Chains A and B, each alone.
Chain A
Amino acid sequence: MHALVIDDSRAMRRIVGGILKGLGYTVTEAGHGREALDVLVATTAAGGAVPDLACVDWNMPVMDGLEFVTAVRAQPAWRSMTMMMVTTESEHAQVVRALAAGAHEYMIKPFTPDAFADKLSLLGLVPQGEPA
């Protein structure tokens, strides 16, 4: 399994990436939505498979998480990638907005590794044989 971790905070990328690696994922990091789109474009151009999962922060420079999710949803070749917002934005209306834009799940910071694994389990994205 392959995950794209998109966050402008290096510390948060390390935390999320660490949890995912512990669950058996390989992880690619991006510091904002534009950089993540570049990864997807390059992967697709090289004939590779898009990541199984994208963990997407909301507030980032250059291109924020909502713009990224919207851009991915507009591209049929990337539809197989599950997108989970991972953000401090915690209002009801924001969760609704992110889901309407195409995010599949929503994780509000702070969270525990167990809660993170629970969400992946709901999405059917815990690699077989790994502890949930």
Chain B
Amino acid sequence: MSTASTASTLSPSGFDFVRALVHRESAIVLAPGKEYLVEARLSPLARSRGLRDVQALVEAVRSSPDVESTQLIVEALTTNETSWFRDGDPFTGMVQVVLPSLLAARTPAEPLRIWSAACSSGQEPYTIAMLLKDALPGAGERVRISASDISREMVERTRGGRFSQMEVNRGLPAPLLVRHLTRAGNDWQVNPDLRRMVTAFECNLVGTLPRTGPFDVVFLRNVLIYFDIPTKRSILARVRALMRPDGWLFLGAAESTLGVDDAWERVPVGRSSAYRPTRPNRGA
């Protein structure tokens, strides 16, 4: 992320206000030194309200707080960059290791439930959908993918399944592009058969978790890094409660359950690794 081009207008107390607001609403920790991030992410919101800069936006919200502004600030600061096949190894592992294991353990009538727990604009759930569609006959009926994000805007984008030219350039192999997406004006849109596999909804991981489980596989990647340890522990325990006892959890490459929640076993999955519950969590 570039920091050079953004001149900060934000006062130290303004930054502290935003930090406290984001932590209260989402439990996400904005470390000191992230002033540039706040500046860069909130500038469009300030401009859209005709305010001169981010400091003016913060002052307006501080003097008269409202739910909509709070939501928009949280969304702007919790929306993460994403791409197709981001860190591709977990996806390969899902198809080559996890899927055969699940198929062996389930009857053909049982649905396979997958949760993409911080789906951003939808690339992750649709990556999962297209891989399973290609690997598993009948996946369209059998696989149910829950896709959630804290941001209403991202959930709506996921539902639409529309991606700009720049977005489809980011890591989507051309053979999959032409098999699973079609042109829609200047954009590309995921085909209806894949969109039917994905149900998108808002979910704040520190709030109420989805009731669309129990899940066979959970993708919770590159999101725990934003939380403090007690919050990570709570999220992992509550996610565990929503998983099948023989389920699989994928975290980001820089994330681990180690030292956070000891009820998981790390197992190699191809060139990647996943986590499996060693005991169910009935208390959550």
Asked whether, in the complex, the Cβ of A108 is within 8 Å of the Cβ of B165, the reply is yes
Asked whether, in the complex, the Cβ of A95 is within 8 Å of the Cβ of B170, the reply is no
Binding site for A on B (CB under 8 A): 83, 85, 88, 165-166, 168-171, 173-175, 177-178, 181-183
Interface size class of A (residues with CB under 8 A): 20 to 34
Asked whether, in the complex, the Cβ of A111 is within 8 Å of the Cβ of B88, the reply is no
Please report the C-alpha to C-alpha distance between residue A121 and residue B166 in the assembled complex, in whole angstroms: 17
Closest to A117 in B: B171
Asked whether, in the complex, the Cβ of B170 is within 8 Å of the Cβ of A115, the reply is yes
Q: Which residues of B contact A118 (CB under 8 A)?
A: 83, 169-171
Q: Which of A28-36, A51-59, A64-72, A99-107 binds B? A: A99-107
Asked whether, in the complex, the Cβ of B166 is within 8 Å of the Cβ of A111, the reply is yes
Q: Which residues of A contact B171 (CB under 8 A)?
A: 115, 118-119, 121-122
Q: Which residues of B contact A108 (CB under 8 A)?
A: 165, 168-169
Asked whether, in the complex, the Cβ of A122 is within 8 Å of the Cβ of B85, the reply is yes
Asked whether, in the complex, the Cβ of A106 is within 8 Å of the Cβ of B170, the reply is no
Q: Which residues of B contact A103 (CB under 8 A)?
A: 174
Q: Knowing A118-B171, A122-B88 are in contact, say whether A106-B166 is a contact too (CB < 8 A).
A: no
Q: Which residues of B contact A90 (CB under 8 A)?
A: 165, 183
Whether a CB of chain B sits under 8 angstroms from the CB of A130 is no
Q: Which residues of A contact B182 (CB under 8 A)?
A: 92
Asked whether, in the complex, the Cβ of A105 is within 8 Å of the Cβ of B173, the reply is yes
Choose one: B165, B168, B173; the contact of A122 (CB below 8 Å): B173
